[in-house]
Every structure is written in structure tokens, then in C-alpha cells.
Amino acid sequence: MRKTFSTYRGRLAHTLCATLLSTLLPMALAGSAHAAIRLSDPIPVGPQVTVGTLANGLTYYIQNNGRPQKKLELRLVIKAGSILEDDDQRGLAHLLEHMAFNGSTHFKKWELITYLQSIGVKFGADLNAYTSFDETVYMLPIPTDRPENVDKGFLVLEDWAHGLTLADADIDKERAIVLEEARSGKGAGERMNKQLMPKMYNGSRYASRLPIGDEQVLKTFKPAAVQRFYRDWYRPDLMAVVVVGDIEPARAEQLIKAHFSGLSNPTPARTRSYAPIAARAASEALVITDKEAAGNSVLIRYPVRPAPAHATFADYRTKLVDSLFAAMLGQRLQDLTQQANPPFIGAGSGIAGMTPRYQSYSAGASLGKDGAAPALAALVQENERARRFGFSAAELERSKKDMLRGYERIYNERDKSDSSSFVAEYTRNFLENEEIPGIVNEVQYARELVPGISLDEVNRYAATTIPVDSAKLVVYLGADQPGTPTPQPADLLAWSAAAARTKLAPRQEATLATRLMETPPVAGSIVGETVDAALGTTTLTLSNGLQVILKPTDFANDQVLLSASRAGGLTQFDQHDITAVRYANAAVASMGVAGFSPNDLQKVLAGKAANAWVDYGQYSDNIGASAGSDDIATMLQLLYLRLTGTRRDASLFQSFVNKETEGARNLMAQPQAVFGDALTSALYGDSPWVARAPRPEQFGKLDLERSIGIYRQRFGSARGLTFIMVGSFDVAAVKPLLATYLASLPTPPLPLAVVDVGLRPVTGVVKQAVYSGAEPKSVVSLTFTGPAQYSKEENLRFQALLEVMNIRITDVLREQLALIYSGGVSGSISRIPYEHYQIGAKLPTGPDKVDQVLAATFAEIAHLQTQGPAPADLEKVKQNWLQVQRRAMRENGYWLGQLQAAVTYNTDPAAILSIEQRIGAVSVDDVKAAAARYFNLDNYVQLVLYPAKTK
């Protein structure tokens, strides 16, 4: 588990994802014959996957899939998590997951990670695991370019299943690392959860079995307790092996049987039971505050109910109805935020999973300046309005359109879907019984089921699903600030009860336009065209002077990406106006586009997959857009409207200001924000050109007209832009669209040179201590800066240095010394406005370990400078890069980024074709020299965060 995800995953997202795999798909298949669906029939397993069970009870899933190429995704899934821990084991399910990387039958301590890194599997990013309440999942991606890699991958899974060494000394060493992980999770959220969880789970065992465990148990447990958990619960009747990727199914099945048929279940076997959650008997309110809380919110948790079955087509249909219901109610709550004085900043409501066997209807909101009372009133009333009066035909029609388009895109990408998405689906099938009929079958189901979902049916579902007159838990979570009134529990119950008694009327549906633009702009023309056969690009010159680079691909079947960038950005404006500039684009976007508010725009675009946005960088004006292949025209229309006009809406502008103000209100009470601000000041003094944590008072100075003026000052002209489009499109088909919507853009003169405002980091050695936070937590930050001479080769040497340093940090600071749980270095070489580099190290640890962390980090830097990296470590980096690069070459986003960089820096885009050769050329001596050049011990900033009470 090297970077463990220890928090329990909510299952509402899984439900929605499953629905995505279950809905209406292309009408191209409308003529295919199939038997009529009987709702009482069970949903069959699709032909795309082989599902089997060994004699010992182990379940397996196998699917051949070609994306990414020469890659195999392996999972070991165990129906055992923290809920099964005995009192002396609290936290040991999670610690055991750590131990899976600390020695086994076929891999001695250190050997497993070293081997996997040697074949390009990166620790944390690729190799990973997580522990939850009811499951533990191990993730292992394997390159298949060598057959022995596959054989060893299955050997790793077998060792995890029943071959862990679990030596006493190794367990004691890992104890310190898990305690560091527990320390890293401390803070306002953890303190508040300790009060919230017992109430949320109504006294259930779940409240006392958080995966991170009990700190006292972690400090004092005996190794035998870990070994007992492994013996009791890591057994084949609770296991699944999932295999998806570049492998023949028969070969995969053979390997599964060879490696797992020999596993046996313990005798006697402990019963694998699921902890019950009692229904709430009476309404209750809870107020939880913390001085470091990030913001204020309310939650209404209604009684738990059993999770629904996923067995029959009737269950399947109910899930479709729930998804439509949730989308419509969510849109209504979002509509309420589009007011000058909204009742909340954001809100959601619907059924959410709590465990594999329980779910609950909930409603929650992030609070605005008026606090909990209006938020609770709005949540209760909008739910009651939907329960009592239902939804409109127009709302249902829009939701169906959005659903159709989303599922259509999944179907279109069925042969380009990553193996990781399939293994996630099969993991959920094993853990939660989610159906797995396959997308082709689901097209047929959707054709029959979805058109028959009527408005009456959805409204009946709302009437029976939204609770009324039921016992509930009402929670206020907030920042404990002087002068800020905090509600009492009785207030929460009184406000909720008053809202339930309010007289309501049906929601009135406004009439909206049916299209973005009534008439297209007067088209320009294409006046020039060149083709680069090697890169597969076509460059068009438009009549208004703009250029467009087109790169059609077959990497995805329903994806088009577009970008443009030019010199510009924040530094084009006066420094005294910098706050207004930073928020101008977001403020303008918050008011919508053309005649549409953001929410109206979303409704008008129902059934479309298209988006467009603009942004100011520090030294650049940036444009981005995306679309499905059938929605390119819509994407270009959106972009045209964003660049040629703005929408004034004083209410929405004020709503934006209020939202940003609330978001900033308690930010500086959080230690990480205090530390980030201190680091910025240490590096750049009081320069206005660097972003700091926002303060509430900043936003009161924003002005609607000035925001629009700042936006138009740059984006009112398209001059100097080169648009790049990558994805699944036909060049001939998009040319008329480009002539209409890009060649018609206005291009009045504007400055197009980079403005260097003289922003430079401090020089010399600066050391500071920062005191903030109530928990015994520290962070060590080291920042190295200086001049650099950029080249593609030098950039690879620089990045290799950082990657090797991260390997050493993990091996030494974490595994050998147990000083940290996570942390590392990152950095970049920048070319604008001058060539320079920056490296930042962030190492969370305990206050008592700061000196050791600093000493160990500088020792590793010195070793790299004098000895260079171990050849094996550099080879690990290069192998991972090659794996990543080969995958990236089949991704639209990667090509878009590379082509954009070539335009921005006026370099040869063909360099993308020779990256593997440059990777191969990086040597040990190159990295050693880079360490001497970039880890300049005469020029760095060292900041250490300590808890406030140690000051």
C-alpha cells in the first residue's frame, strides 16, 4: 500500500457510474433484434468477461482489453476491512495492507518494489492499495512486453493472498510509518469526524472502526494481532482476482488456477458478518465547531435503509429512475445558488451509500453569509416541493437527453476504454453485486427501458423516496470564530421543522431558447493550408490572420480537445489592479454567456457534450474547449460567444462575490494556508504578482463593470492566437465550422509581448519557522531556485534528478528511517519571462523529527552530488518514463499539450517523435551534474511548520 486511501469511499458515485453503463445508446443499433425484457428476469453477466469460481471459493474475472497496449491490470480484492478488527486490532487491517510490501514467500523485504520499479511500475502512482471498512484492494499494473513480467505479476498476487512473511521486526518498523500516516490525517476534519461518526452511524460498529485505527492500539499492539487478522480474513472464499488487459483469457485462467487453487480456508473459519446500522428512533441535532474548520455546512441525514438489490431488470430500471430524479433535484438546488443572496453556496440531495448493505437519503449544503437557517429552509422546502409536486416534463426531457449523450459517449468509446475502468467495475460487482452485462447489451436494455420511464413514474419515485415526518439527524459543521454566531442544536431542529410547515407552490418552469445562436456569424475563410505528414497535422491560415493546427486521431472515438495560448496574462495590467484581474474571468463566467445564465446554459445544452473557457495565466492568455465528436459546432459556438460578448447580471455577480468571500473567510485559520502564505512571502516578499491565500475583504472591492472591462481588454481580440484541435474529427468536415466561428473572430490590435515585471525569488539561504495548528504536526519545506538554460535534453536530466530523489526519499526517509509517510520533491524549468528553475520539497513529519528529516534529506542531496544516482535507480526512472510515454502517445491530451508548447516556445513539434531516444541518453553522470547544478546549497529557502503551542 504505499499511498493508502484509508477513508471509506462513498457509493453514490458508483451508482451513477453504473447507470452510465446502463443507459440509452446510439440509435445506430435501433434496428438490432432482441428479446423483450421481462423485469423479473435476472441481469446476465456479459460475454466480454469470464467469471469463475475455484473449488476453494475464490472468484475471478478475466477480460481481454487492448487499451493501454501491452499493459495488464491486476487486482486482488478481499471482502475484509477494518470492520472485522477485534478490539486489539483497530488499525491493523490497514497496517496489514502496508505489510504486503514488506516481504513475502517469493520477494524478500525491498525486493518487490525494486523489481516492479525496474519494469516501469511506479510506486504510489501505479502500484497501490487501499483499505476501507469492508474491503481491502491491491492494485498492480504490469507491462506485458515480456512474458516473465506477467508470470511474476501473478506471483505477487499469490504472495499477497497467502504468502506474507509478517516478521515481527518488519511489523514494528511499519508501526512507525502508519503512525506517521495517522499524524498526517490529524486536523479539523479528523477532530470533527470523531464527534460526527458515532451519530452518523447511529452507534454502529462502523463508527469505532475507521480504517486508520486507534492510535493507542497502533502504539502497543503485538505482532501476533496482525498475523491473526491475516490468518482469519485473507482467505479464498473472501477473495477475487481481477485480470483485465493485454492477455489471452485462457492464459489468464490458467495462471489463476495455478497460483490460487492451492489456497485453503481456515478451519474453523470465522463468520464474515456485516455490522448492522440501527434506524434512528427520534430526530436529533448536533453542532460541531473547530477553529481550523475550512468552512460552514449543514447536513440532514434521514434514516438508513437497506441498499437495493442489483439482480433483476426491475432493479436496473429503478436505478435509472433514481439517476434521473437525482439529476433534476440537483439542478433545482443549483438554480437556487444563482441569486444575489442565495440560501447556500452549493447543495446536494439524494440517496447515498453508507456501506455495502445500507444507504440513506441525505441533504447537505455549504453555507453562505446568512448561515444555517436559510440553508436548512431551502433544503427542506425544495425536497418537499419535489416530493409533493414532482418535476416538469421539460426537466425530465433535459435529464434524459443528458443521460443519453453521456451513455452514448461510453458506448462510442467501448473499444478505447482503459482496462482500469473495467477492473473497477468488476471490483464493485464482487463487493456490491453491481451488474456487469457489458455495454453492448446495455444498449439494448436502454432502448427498451428508458423511453418507457414516464414523468408520472419519476414523480411517484420522488414522492416515495424523499422522507417526510421521519426521524433525522441535523448537523451543523462550522468554524469556531470569535464574533461569529453558532446555532444551537435546538435551533437546527426548529428551523427544519418550520421549513417543513411552510406553504409551498409548484415550481414554475421558465421558457428557454432551444439553441445557442439563432444565426451564425458572417463566416470568414481559409486562405492557406499546409500538411505535415510526419506529425499527421494540417495547419490552416484564416482570413483574419489566425492559424489552426488540426491533428485528427483515432485515440478516442468521441473526444475533441482544443486550446490556444498567447503572450499576455496578469502582467499586462497594472499591479494595483491585480486582485480584480485575478478574478475577472471567473466573475464574468459566473454571469453566463450571451443571453444565458450558467444554469440556463446547462439546460440549453442538454444532450450536448461541449464546453469552452478562458483564463489569464501569469504571462499568458489561455483558451480551452472540449466536445464530443458530434458536438464540435456547439463547442465552437460557445467559444465564439465567450470571445465576442459578455453577459451582465448584477445578481449573479454579487452571488459570485459572496461565494468567494465565504470561501476565504476561515482560510487563514488553517495551518496549511498560513504555511503556504509564509512560504510565498519568504520567496517573494510582498510582491503583488504572486498569488496568496485570498482574504474576505478583497472581494468587496470587485466591481462588475471593471471585471467585464478587464476580461474584454484581452479576450475582446483573438489576434495572435493559434488554435490547436486534436481528436476524433474529419479535417474536411470541420473546415466550414472553423471558417464560420474562428475566422469570423475580431482581431483588433493589442500588445502581444511578454511583460517581465521583475518577479524574482530571494537569493541566499533563508531559514524560518512558522507556528500554526493545534495538532503535533510539522512540515519541512525546501525550495531551491536559480537560473537555468533550457533544452529538451536538459529538462529530462532535471526531471530525472527529481525522480531519483523521490526514490531515495521513499527508500531512506520512509522505509529505512520511518520519519515520514508521504512527501517528495517536484520542480520545473521555466522559459518565460526568463530561464530559471525551481525545486520544492515538502516533507510532512512530527515536530520531534524535523532535524532528522532535514539531516537525511541533505545527506541524500550530498550523495547525489558526490556519487550520483545508483544506476538501478536511474533505470527505474527511465523504464517508468518509457511506459508512460508509450501510453501518452495514444492520448489526445498529451498531443495537445506538446503541440501547444511548440507554438508557445516556437520549437519544432517533431521533437515529440524522438522522446524515447532522449530518455535513453540520460546517464548517471548527467544526473550527478544536475544535482550539483540545481541543488545549490548557497541558495535555498527552508521553512518548517510547527504547531502553534510549541512557539
Among the listed ranges 62-71, 356-365, 498-507, 509-518, which one has the minimum average pLDDT value? Answer: 509-518
Pair (719, 816) in one structural domain: no
Pair (806, 716) in one structural domain: no
Quick one: pLDDT band at residue 27, thresholds 50, 70, 90? very low
Quick one: pLDDT band at residue 24, thresholds 50, 70, 90? very low
Quick one: pLDDT band at residue 465, thresholds 50, 70, 90? very high
pLDDT higher than 90, residue 837: yes
**What is the average pLDDT across 559-563?**
98
CA–CA dist 675, 948 (Å, integer): 12
Q: Which residues constitute the domain of residue 455?
A: 284-412+440-501
Share of the chain above pLDDT 70, in %: 96
Q: Does 28 reside within a domain?
A: no
Task: Convert the pLDDT of each residue in 589-635 to its tens digit.
Answer: 999 999 899 999 999 999 999 999 999 999 999 999 999 999 999 99
The overall average pLDDT reported for the chain is 93
CA neighbours closer than 13 Å in the CB half-sphere of residue 219: 5
Among the listed ranges 3-12, 169-178, 662-671, 740-749, which one has the minimum average pLDDT value? Answer: 3-12
CA–CA dist 403, 212 (Å, integer): 37
Q: Does 643 reside within a domain?
A: yes
Give the pairing type, strands 297-306 and 358-366.
antiparallel
Q: Does 422 reside within a domain?
A: no
Q: Which of 691, 708, 741 is the last residue of a domain?
A: 741
Q: For residue 571, what are the contacts with CB-CB under 8 A and spacing of at least 6?
A: 618, 619, 689, 754, 755, 756, 757, 833
Cell of residue 418, nine digits: 482503459
Pair (224, 298) in one structural domain: no
DSSP 136: E
Quick one: pLDDT band at residue 440, thresholds 50, 70, 90? confident
Quick one: pLDDT band at residue 556, thresholds 50, 70, 90? very high
Pair (169, 71) in one structural domain: yes
Task: Convert the pLDDT of each residue in 250-295 to its tens digit.
Answer: 999 999 999 999 999 999 999 999 999 999 999 999 999 999 998 9
Quick one: pLDDT band at residue 14, thresholds 50, 70, 90? very low
Quick one: pLDDT band at residue 645, thresholds 50, 70, 90? confident
pLDDT higher than 70, residue 355: yes
pLDDT higher than 90, residue 707: yes
Among the listed ranges 347-351, 411-415, 705-709, 930-934, which one has the minimum average pLDDT value? Answer: 411-415
pLDDT higher than 60, residue 4: no
Report pLDDT for 28: 30
Report which of 28, 30, 27, 25 is spatially closest to residue 404, judged by C-alpha positions: 25
- Tell me the CATH number at 151: 3.30.830.10
Number of domains in the chain: 4
The H or E element that residue 382 is part of is: helix 372-389
Report which of 446, 434, 448 is spatially closest to residue 45, judged by C-alpha positions: 434
CA–CA dist 430, 13 (Å, integer): 17
Pair (469, 575) in one structural domain: no
Pair (255, 368) in one structural domain: no
pLDDT higher than 70, residue 9: no
Q: Which of 678, 707, 741 is the last residue of a domain?
A: 741
Q: Does 661 reside within a domain?
A: yes
Pair (671, 778) in one structural domain: no
Quick one: pLDDT band at residue 25, thresholds 50, 70, 90? very low
Q: Does 190 reside within a domain?
A: no
Quick one: pLDDT band at residue 139, thresholds 50, 70, 90? very high
Report pLDDT for 34: 52
Report pLDDT for 10: 32
Pair (723, 587) in one structural domain: yes
CA–CA dist 464, 454 (Å, integer): 16
Q: State how far Cα 65 lies from the chain centre.
A: 24
Quick one: pLDDT band at residue 443, thresholds 50, 70, 90? confident
Neighbours of 636 (CB within 10 A): 24
Task: Convert the pLDDT of each residue in 410-433 to its tens digit.
Answer: 888 988 899 999 999 999 999 999
CA–CA dist 13, 34 (Å, integer): 30
Pair (632, 673) in one structural domain: yes
Q: pTM of the prediction?
A: 0.93
Quick one: pLDDT band at residue 481, thresholds 50, 70, 90? confident
Neighbours of 921 (CB within 10 A): 12
User: Which residue bears the cell 512571502?
Assistant: 681
Report pLDDT for 950: 67
CA–CA dist 728, 219 (Å, integer): 56
Quick one: pLDDT band at residue 156, thresholds 50, 70, 90? very high
First to last CA, the chain: 35
Q: Which of 260, 275, 295 is the last residue of a domain?
A: 260
Q: Does 216 reside within a domain?
A: yes
Contact by Cβ (8 Å): 612, 530: no
Q: What are phi and psi of 511, to 5 degrees?
A: -85, 130
Report which of 222, 115, 94 is spatially closest to residue 872, judged by C-alpha positions: 115
Please, which contacts does 902-906 make with residues 24 or more away whose CB atoms are closer than 8 Å? 903/549, 903/565, 903/722, 903/724, 904/565, 904/620, 905/831
Report pLDDT for 35: 62
Pair (569, 485) in one structural domain: no
CA–CA dist 190, 492 (Å, integer): 23
Quick one: pLDDT band at residue 450, thresholds 50, 70, 90? confident
pLDDT higher than 70, residue 33: no
Q: For residue 376, what are the contacts with CB-CB under 8 A and spacing of at least 6?
A: 298, 300, 365, 474, 492, 495, 496, 499
Report pLDDT for 306: 93
Q: Does 166 reside within a domain?
A: yes
Contact by Cβ (8 Å): 922, 792: no
Task: Convert the pLDDT of each residue in 82-137 to its tens digit.
Answer: 999 999 999 999 999 999 999 999 999 889 999 999 999 998 778 899 999 999 99
User: Which residue bears the cell 482560510?
Assistant: 667
Pair (291, 393) in one structural domain: yes
DSSP 42: B
Report which of 136, 144, 151 is spatially closest to residue 427, judged by C-alpha positions: 136
**What is the average pLDDT across 218-239?**
98
pLDDT higher than 90, residue 183: yes
**What is the average pLDDT across 72-80?**
98
Cell of residue 656, nine digits: 459570485
Cell of residue 310, nine digits: 442489483
Task: Convert the pLDDT of each residue in 842-860 to its tens digit.
Answer: 999 999 999 999 999 999 9
Q: Does 198 reside within a domain?
A: no
Pair (543, 486) in one structural domain: no
